């Protein structure tokens, strides 16, 4: 699935003229960490103030029982004219909603907003919405706030053989990782159990992972490589390999389209926007010692020869011998076409 890139003009400022309140669709995940003790949005909706035009908000709250219910729920939202889609949950909830919505909205989505209620909310770190944002605040921002434009990462499984119709549907998220990144996500789940969430969990996991890779033996799980092939752009140019380690393996891969990462990390060398990719060939101690400089955007010029590579590409083909992570969840190994998705408009205060 590919999406034509579009340039959107700035939204006009609201001039104060009364107008109807939007039709708002809310996808609510009661299992998200910060929703466990919160009031259900269907109850909170009854207390919403009228819109700037003096009209009560038309709020539709859905609580799908599982991922399989999302396509029908979102199709119903579209049929009912939803203009603002609110995702109440964490990064995983956002990924599932966006993935299911690809077939429903294609490249013509309603305005979006995130109520960050998960254990990790990396997208919201980028958007900058308040951690304690409410549905009333979102609706007010829809009328008088700003829009932040972002494209997700769309991963389309490519069939090894047989018909493409037999392949799973595309997925859309914002942070893709493989190799040691997958190991780190599992360690992050341990950090959650210890009470560390969001950027704190990212920091704890990153420090622990680098320490293990630096000090551990060759049998340490943090030092293992993963079979990986990365072909960049429409010409499918191979990502360079330094020659350290097995040329068919990489130690870690990270890709993202977010403008700002948790803890202010700058993981993609000279690239600041678009679909960016960083790979490290092998967990060499000399290279790992440069990680602090890399994450603050000060990678030295020789880093490519040492086995760290940066790239920006509108699309690439990725083949993995092991599972990968998309916004916090593990997905199966395989061959994927990776591209930027449609431009999405997120409401922020």
Summarize pLDDT for 175-199 with one digit per residue, the tens.
999 988 887 665 544 433 433 334 4
DSSP letter string, 120-150: --HHHHHHT--TT--HHHHHHHHHHSEEEEE
Distance in Å from the first CA to the final CA of the chain: 32
pLDDT value of position 33: 46
| pLDDT over 90 at 45, yes or no | no
Mean predicted confidence (pLDDT) in 317-332: 93
Mean pLDDT value across the chain? 80
Query: Alpha carbon of 279 to those of 74, 125, 233, 288: distances in Å?
Result: 36, 23, 16, 12
pLDDT band at residue 54 using 50, 70 and 90 as cut-offs: very low
Where in the sequence of the chain do the CATH 2.60.200 domains occur? Answer: 175-326
Q: Number of helices (H) and strands (E), helices first, in the chain?
A: 10, 17
pLDDT value of position 336: 97
- Give φ, ψ of 171 to 5 degrees: -125, 150
- Top pLDDT among 19 and 276 is at 276
Mean predicted confidence (pLDDT) in 30-44: 53
For residue 263, give every residue at least 6 positions away whose Cβ sits within 8 Å of its Cβ, in sequence order, or none: 199, 202, 203, 295
Out of 76-80, 118-122, 212-216, 333-337, pick the least confident.
212-216
pLDDT value of position 193: 43
Query: Alpha carbon of 247 to those of 119, 229, 244, 280: distances in Å?
Result: 36, 9, 7, 12
User: Quick one: DSSP state of residue 223?
Assistant: G
Mean predicted confidence (pLDDT) in 79-86: 95
Query: What is the C-alpha separation between 85 and 63, in angstroms, rounded?
Result: 13
pLDDT band at residue 68 using 50, 70 and 90 as cut-offs: confident
pLDDT band at residue 247 using 50, 70 and 90 as cut-offs: very high
Taking phi over 0 as left and psi of -120 to 50 as alpha, with beta for the rest, 204 belongs to alpha
| SS3 of residue 160 by DSSP | coil
CATH class, range 175-326: mainly beta
Taking phi over 0 as left and psi of -120 to 50 as alpha, with beta for the rest, 47 belongs to alpha
Could you report the per-residue pLDDT of 123-179, keeping only the tens digit for each? 988 999 888 888 889 998 998 889 999 999 999 999 876 555 667 899 999 999 998
Where in the sequence of the chain do the CATH 3.40.50.10330 domains occur? Answer: 23-150
pLDDT value of position 300: 85
pLDDT value of position 234: 95
- Top pLDDT among 96 and 168 is at 96
Q: Where are the alpha helices (DSSP H) in the chain?
A: 41-44, 70-79, 91-105, 122-127, 135-144, 180-193, 198-215, 285-288, 291-295, 303-306
The CA angle 219-262-172, to the nearest 5 degrees, is: 85
pLDDT value of position 201: 43
| Bridge partners (DSSP) listed for residue 155 | 171, 338
Query: What is the C-alpha separation between 46 and 16, in angstroms, rounded?
Result: 25
| Bridge partners (DSSP) listed for residue 153 | 173, 340
Could you report the per-residue pLDDT of 168-177, keeping only the tens digit for each? 899 999 999 9
pLDDT band at residue 100 using 50, 70 and 90 as cut-offs: very high
- Give φ, ψ of 39 to 5 degrees: -70, 140
- Could you identify the residue written with the tokens 């003096």? 54
Mean predicted confidence (pLDDT) in 262-283: 90
% residues pLDDT > 70 (the chain) = 73
pLDDT band at residue 29 using 50, 70 and 90 as cut-offs: confident
Give the alpha-carbon dihedral of 81, 84, 90, 96, to 10 degrees. 30
Q: Are strands 308-312 and 276-280 parallel, antiparallel or unpaired?
A: antiparallel
| pLDDT over 70 at 314, yes or no | yes
pLDDT value of position 220: 57
Evaluate whether the domain defined by 23-150 bears CATH number 3.50.50.60. Answer: no
């Amino acid at each position: 699935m590919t999406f034509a890139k579009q340039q959107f003009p700035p939204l006009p400022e609201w001039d104060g003229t009364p107008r109807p309140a939007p039709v708002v669709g809310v996808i609510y995940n009661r299992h998200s960490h910060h929703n466990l003790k919160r009031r259900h949005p269907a109850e909170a909706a009854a207390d919403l103030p009228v819109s700037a035009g003096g009209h009560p908000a038309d709020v539709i709250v859905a609580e799908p029982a599982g991922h399989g219910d999302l396509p029908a729920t979102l199709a119903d939202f579209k049929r009912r004219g939803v203009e603002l889609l609110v995702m109440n949950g964490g990064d995983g909830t956002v990924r599932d909603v966006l993935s299911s919505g690809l077939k429903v909205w294609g490249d013509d989505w309603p305005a979006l907003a995130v109520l960050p209620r998960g254990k990790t909310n990396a997208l919201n770190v980028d958007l900058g919405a308040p951690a304690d944002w409410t549905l009333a605040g979102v609706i007010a921002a829809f009328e008088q706030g700003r829009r932040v434009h972002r494209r997700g990462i769309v991963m389309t499984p490519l069939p090894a053989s047989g018909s493409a119709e037999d392949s799973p549907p595309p997925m859309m998220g914002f942070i893709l990782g493989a190799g040691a990144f997958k190991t780190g996500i599992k360690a992050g789940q341990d950090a959650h159990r210890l009470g560390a969430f969001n950027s704190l969990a990212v920091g704890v996991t990153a420090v622990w992972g680098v320490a293990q890779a630096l000090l551990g033996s060759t049998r340490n799980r943090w030092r293992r490589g993963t079979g990986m092939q990365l072909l960049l752009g429409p010409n499918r140019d191979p990502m360079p390999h330094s020659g350290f380690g097995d040329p068919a393996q990489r130690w870690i891969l990270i890709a993202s389209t977010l403008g700002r990462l948790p803890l202010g990390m700058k993981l993609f060398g000279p690239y600041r926007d678009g679909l960016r990719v960083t790979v490290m060939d092998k967990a060499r101690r000399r290279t790992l010692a440069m990680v602090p400089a890399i994450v603050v955007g000060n990678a030295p010029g020789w880093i490519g020869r040492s086995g760290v590579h940066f790239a920006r590409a509108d699309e690439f083909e990725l083949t993995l011998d092991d599972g990968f992570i998309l916004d916090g969840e593990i997905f199966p190994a395989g061959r994927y076409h990776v591209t930027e998705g449609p431009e999405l408009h997120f409401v922020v205060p």
